[in-house]
Amino acid sequence: MRKGFNGLDGLVRDRLRLEPRSGHLFLFCNQARNRLKILFWDGNGLWVCAKRLERGRFSWPQEETQGDRVRLTHEELTLLLGGIDLERTRAKNWYRYEEKT
């Protein structure tokens, strides 16, 4: 996890083919899954936030059909950052508005 602002911005643009200044959060983790970084555009500048676990690993979600991308809800992001295994939890079957992309 040596990448900073420019490296993460480049990953989002070139590898994920997304716009870093879209207002979305972009999460990255290292191979050992004990460190992560979040890239976020707040309207006038990029933020890079980092977290390192002293023990344990993040329960990183599995990629589905989108290759390197995984889409998380804000609830799933909160669970992931809080150390909850997303594979062992399940969401209630409530109505959720999904924005069409």
Q: What is the per-residue pLDDT across 16-66, written as a single tens digit (0 to 9) for each?
A: 999 999 999 999 999 898 999 999 999 999 999 999 989 888 887 776 555
32 found inside a domain: yes
Within a domain: 99: no
Interval 86-90 mean pLDDT: 71
The confidence band for 85, taking pLDDT boundaries of 50, 70 and 90, is confident
Give the per-residue pLDDT at 65. 54
The alpha carbon of residue 39 and the mean position of all alpha carbons in its chain are separated, in whole angstroms, by 9
- Residue 94 to residue 76: CA distance in whole angstroms: 15
**For residue 52, what is the enclosing H or E element?**
strand 46-52
Q: Is residue 65, in this structure, part of any structural domain at all?
A: yes
Query: Domain residues for 49?
Result: 5-88
| Residue 100 within any structural domain of the chain | no
Kindly report the backbone phi and psi dihedral angles of residue 36, in degrees, each rounded to the nearest multiple of 5, phi listed first.
Answer: -145, 160
From CA 20, how far away is CA 5, in angstroms rounded?
11
Q: Is 53 within the bounds of a domain?
A: yes
| Distance of alpha carbon 25 from alpha carbon 48, whole angstroms | 10
The domain tally of the chain equals: 1
pTM of the full structure: 0.75
